[in-house]
Structure 1
Amino acid sequence: MKKMDFQLWNAICILDLDIFDSSVVISCCSKWGVGLVVVGLEAPLAAGLANDLVKARIISFGPSTEDAALEGSKSFI
Protein backbone atom coordinates (compact mmCIF):
# COMPACT_ATOMS: atom_id res chain seq x y z
CA MET A 1 0.00 0.00 0.00
CA LYS A 2 1.25 3.44 -0.88
CA LYS A 3 1.43 5.96 1.98
CA MET A 4 1.58 9.72 1.61
CA ASP A 5 4.85 11.40 2.51
CA PHE A 6 3.56 13.26 5.53
CA GLN A 7 2.49 12.14 8.97
CA LEU A 8 0.70 14.17 11.59
CA TRP A 9 0.48 12.73 15.11
CA ASN A 10 0.86 9.27 13.64
CA ALA A 11 -2.08 9.79 11.27
CA ILE A 12 -1.46 8.18 7.89
CA CYS A 13 -3.43 8.59 4.68
CA ILE A 14 -3.31 5.48 2.48
CA LEU A 15 -4.14 6.56 -1.04
CA ASP A 16 -4.78 3.23 -2.75
CA LEU A 17 -6.95 1.57 -0.08
CA ASP A 18 -10.25 0.15 -1.36
CA ILE A 19 -12.60 1.67 1.21
CA PHE A 20 -15.55 -0.26 -0.22
CA ASP A 21 -14.00 -3.60 0.77
CA SER A 22 -14.34 -3.93 4.54
CA SER A 23 -12.01 -6.93 4.70
CA VAL A 24 -9.22 -4.90 3.04
CA VAL A 25 -9.75 -2.01 5.47
CA ILE A 26 -9.78 -4.34 8.47
CA SER A 27 -6.64 -6.11 7.23
CA CYS A 28 -4.88 -2.77 6.78
CA CYS A 29 -5.93 -1.68 10.28
CA SER A 30 -4.52 -4.89 11.73
CA LYS A 31 -1.27 -4.57 9.77
CA TRP A 32 -0.65 -0.96 10.80
CA GLY A 33 -2.06 -1.19 14.34
CA VAL A 34 -4.74 1.41 13.66
CA GLY A 35 -6.55 2.55 16.78
CA LEU A 36 -9.28 4.68 15.19
CA VAL A 37 -10.86 4.87 11.75
CA VAL A 38 -12.78 7.98 10.73
CA VAL A 39 -15.15 7.16 7.88
CA GLY A 40 -16.22 10.31 6.10
CA LEU A 41 -17.80 9.18 2.86
CA GLU A 42 -21.45 8.22 2.71
CA ALA A 43 -21.13 5.27 0.31
CA PRO A 44 -18.74 3.15 2.42
CA LEU A 45 -20.84 3.93 5.49
CA ALA A 46 -24.02 2.81 3.72
CA ALA A 47 -22.16 -0.29 2.54
CA GLY A 48 -21.49 -1.23 6.17
CA LEU A 49 -17.87 -0.23 6.78
CA ALA A 50 -18.49 1.20 10.27
CA ASN A 51 -20.52 -1.87 11.24
CA ASP A 52 -17.78 -4.22 10.03
CA LEU A 53 -15.08 -2.26 11.86
CA VAL A 54 -17.06 -2.52 15.11
CA LYS A 55 -17.48 -6.28 14.59
CA ALA A 56 -13.70 -6.52 14.13
CA ARG A 57 -13.23 -4.58 17.41
CA ILE A 58 -11.74 -1.56 15.64
CA ILE A 59 -12.94 1.80 16.93
CA SER A 60 -14.61 3.82 14.20
CA PHE A 61 -16.14 7.24 13.95
CA GLY A 62 -19.13 7.18 11.63
CA PRO A 63 -22.78 6.13 11.64
CA SER A 64 -24.00 2.58 11.26
CA THR A 65 -25.26 1.26 7.94
CA GLU A 66 -28.83 1.90 8.98
CA ASP A 67 -28.16 5.49 10.06
CA ALA A 68 -26.14 6.20 6.91
CA ALA A 69 -28.99 4.84 4.76
CA LEU A 70 -31.45 7.08 6.56
CA GLU A 71 -29.27 10.14 5.97
CA GLY A 72 -28.66 9.16 2.34
CA SER A 73 -32.38 8.72 1.66
CA LYS A 74 -33.23 12.34 2.51
CA SER A 75 -34.05 14.65 -0.33
CA PHE A 76 -33.92 18.38 0.08
CA ILE A 77 -36.34 20.52 -1.87
Structure 2
Amino acid sequence: EQGMSEQNNKALSPAEAALRDAAREYHRSPTRGKIAVTPTKALSNQRDLSLAYSPGVAYPCLDIEADPQKAAD
Protein backbone atom coordinates (compact mmCIF):
# COMPACT_ATOMS: atom_id res chain seq x y z
CA GLU A 1 0.00 0.00 0.00
CA GLN A 2 1.35 3.41 -0.93
CA GLY A 3 1.74 6.18 1.61
CA MET A 4 0.38 9.67 0.95
CA SER A 5 3.80 11.06 0.03
CA GLU A 6 4.27 8.31 -2.57
CA GLN A 7 0.77 8.96 -3.94
CA ASN A 8 1.55 12.69 -4.18
CA ASN A 9 4.50 11.97 -6.48
CA LYS A 10 2.53 9.94 -9.06
CA ALA A 11 0.96 11.50 -12.13
CA LEU A 12 -2.63 12.49 -11.47
CA SER A 13 -5.51 11.94 -13.84
CA PRO A 14 -7.35 15.09 -14.88
CA ALA A 15 -10.19 14.22 -12.46
CA GLU A 16 -7.74 13.69 -9.57
CA ALA A 17 -5.93 16.93 -10.37
CA ALA A 18 -9.24 18.80 -10.45
CA LEU A 19 -10.23 17.30 -7.09
CA ARG A 20 -6.83 18.17 -5.62
CA ASP A 21 -7.07 21.77 -6.81
CA ALA A 22 -10.67 22.13 -5.61
CA ALA A 23 -9.77 20.67 -2.19
CA ARG A 24 -6.84 23.05 -1.80
CA GLU A 25 -9.05 26.03 -2.65
CA TYR A 26 -11.84 24.79 -0.37
CA HIS A 27 -9.48 24.63 2.62
CA ARG A 28 -7.83 27.95 1.77
CA SER A 29 -10.86 30.22 1.19
CA PRO A 30 -12.54 32.26 2.50
CA THR A 31 -10.95 31.32 5.83
CA ARG A 32 -8.25 28.70 6.21
CA GLY A 33 -9.19 25.52 8.02
CA LYS A 34 -12.55 23.96 8.79
CA ILE A 35 -13.19 24.70 12.46
CA ALA A 36 -13.44 28.00 14.31
CA VAL A 37 -14.03 28.86 17.94
CA THR A 38 -16.54 31.64 18.36
CA PRO A 39 -17.96 33.16 21.53
CA THR A 40 -21.53 32.35 22.55
CA LYS A 41 -21.83 35.57 24.55
CA ALA A 42 -21.18 39.19 23.60
CA LEU A 43 -17.57 40.16 24.35
CA SER A 44 -17.55 43.77 23.27
CA ASN A 45 -15.95 45.49 26.26
CA GLN A 46 -13.85 44.99 29.40
CA ARG A 47 -16.90 44.29 31.58
CA ASP A 48 -18.04 41.48 29.26
CA LEU A 49 -14.57 39.95 29.38
CA SER A 50 -14.48 40.23 33.18
CA LEU A 51 -17.82 38.44 33.43
CA ALA A 52 -16.79 35.70 31.02
CA TYR A 53 -13.26 35.16 32.29
CA SER A 54 -11.39 36.28 35.38
CA PRO A 55 -12.75 37.18 37.89
CA GLY A 56 -16.33 36.51 36.76
CA VAL A 57 -15.92 32.84 35.87
CA ALA A 58 -14.95 32.05 39.48
CA TYR A 59 -18.51 32.47 40.75
CA PRO A 60 -20.12 29.83 38.53
CA CYS A 61 -17.14 27.55 39.23
CA LEU A 62 -17.69 27.88 42.98
CA ASP A 63 -21.40 27.17 42.48
CA ILE A 64 -20.55 24.00 40.53
CA GLU A 65 -18.05 22.93 43.18
CA ALA A 66 -20.78 23.25 45.82
CA ASP A 67 -23.41 21.52 43.61
CA PRO A 68 -22.05 19.60 40.59
CA GLN A 69 -25.57 19.43 39.10
CA LYS A 70 -25.23 23.14 38.32
CA ALA A 71 -22.66 22.31 35.63
CA ALA A 72 -25.58 21.85 33.23
CA ASP A 73 -27.10 25.27 34.05
Task: Assess same fold via TM > 0.5.
Answer: no
Larger radius of gyration: 2
Output the TM-score relative to the length of structure 2. 0.24
Higher helix share: 2
Higher strand share: 1
**Structure having greater relative contact order (Cα 8 Å, sep ≥ 6):** 1
What is the TM-score of this pair, normalised by structure 1? 0.23
